[in-house]
Structure 1
């Protein structure tokens, strides 16, 4: 299936595999250079420049890198929240105090994540964020995001909506991951902007 094709749920899984395979084929130097460019682009956004609290995440493997951005935000005095994956796939949150404050946590046979080792702040802590960075594999011309399929950030978005919170929703991607269309479900919500190494695209 094409990276820009529409798909039902089996097709959605196929799309995910395709995007993940493309990421895994990237050279480590390309991943590092993209991370630096992403940090520079994201930090220049007015929403990020004016944020007091940013909910983010620690990138894994060949995901678009986030650590340079996390450290730059912290150096600016921004409060950075990072997720802690719970057994039911919901997310708790903890504050980021530098890379040394992270612990590597293996979640069953699924994945190993870098998570804050400090105090847990509760799932509702994300509602205080001015900006929420959402992980993803692709975004389309409408701002619809293709996630990894675990549903954790669908819960985050639902929690924000219930709380009446309106943070800026951003996704960090490689340039080739901005496509014409991705599959969507009724509960899916568009992001406000995508940040890639070459620029920023806004959707609303």
Structure 2
């Protein structure tokens, strides 16, 4: 099922609520299947194959799960990083090296993230510009590559430099295919993505 976000001009907040409910309504079996299909599609992409410093996320609120890729990346010699919220006054993300024994904490949005109070992990913090590939969660997307996030703007602020320093790092948005809409209004502050991948399709944005 698809939805035309411009036919009735819902607010981004209303559309965000609808799409979040849609992905949360998926069964555990559907989520596992979606994660498997997502992993297969991503592993075929050349920008994913060549990445050596990769940021991804731990799924929350029904987000599609990229974790099946972690071992695959490591077998290829890539390092995996997770986003960490910086202080509220900054509203940007850090990226911290992640492995099975990484100490974790819950951030102010109840999302698990690496604990940066440990000195060893503080030393393995990576700035956004040093990444090769970033896999980020989306709330909605359309065929033109327009996207809808959670509304906090953390990724947009963190990668604002991409407007001047393309094409590094490669930014790929991830979503369940049930989060696809026919047309999604773009916001001026949205940082363009290089691709959007769901369990059923790969979208290459057409807008510049």
- TM-score bracket relative to the smaller structure: 0.7 to 0.9
Look up the match of 1:59: 59
Please give the residue correspondences for 1:102-117 in structure 2 after superposition, counting only pairs within 5 Å.
103-107=104-108, 111-117=109-115
Kept in 2: contact 1:54–1:78 (CA 8 A): yes
CA-based RMSD: 2.5
Partner SS state of residue 97, structure 1: coil
Deviations 1:167-192 (A, max 9, x none): 22211111122222222221223212
Residue 19 (structure 1) aligned with residue 36 (structure 2): no
Q: Which moved more, 1:16-25 or 1:71-80?
A: 71-80
Aligned residue pairs: how many? 199
User: How many angstroms does 1:74 deviate by?
Assistant: 2.1
Partner SS state of residue 20, structure 1: helix
User: TM-score under structure 1 normalisation?
Assistant: 0.85
Please give the residue correspondences for 1:1-204 in structure 2 after superposition, counting only pairs within 5 Å.
3-6=3-6, 11-88=11-88, 89-98=91-100, 100-101=101-102, 103-107=104-108, 111-117=109-115, 119-120=121-122, 125-161=127-163, 166-203=168-205
Query: Unaligned stretches of 5+ in structure 2?
Result: none
Query: Unaligned stretches of 5+ in structure 1?
Result: none
Higher RCO (Cα < 8 Å, 6 or more apart): 2
User: How many angstroms does 1:29 deviate by?
Assistant: 1.1
User: How many angstroms does 1:119 deviate by?
Assistant: 1.5
User: How many angstroms does 1:159 deviate by?
Assistant: 3.5
> What stretches of structure 1 move > 6 A for 4+ residues in a row?
7-10
Question: When you count helix as a share of all residues, which structure comes out higher?
Answer: 1
Q: Distance in 2 between matches of 1:9 and 1:83?
A: 32
Q: Distance in 2 between matches of 1:86 and 1:57?
A: 15
User: TM-score under structure 2 normalisation?
Assistant: 0.84
Partner SS state of residue 110, structure 2: strand
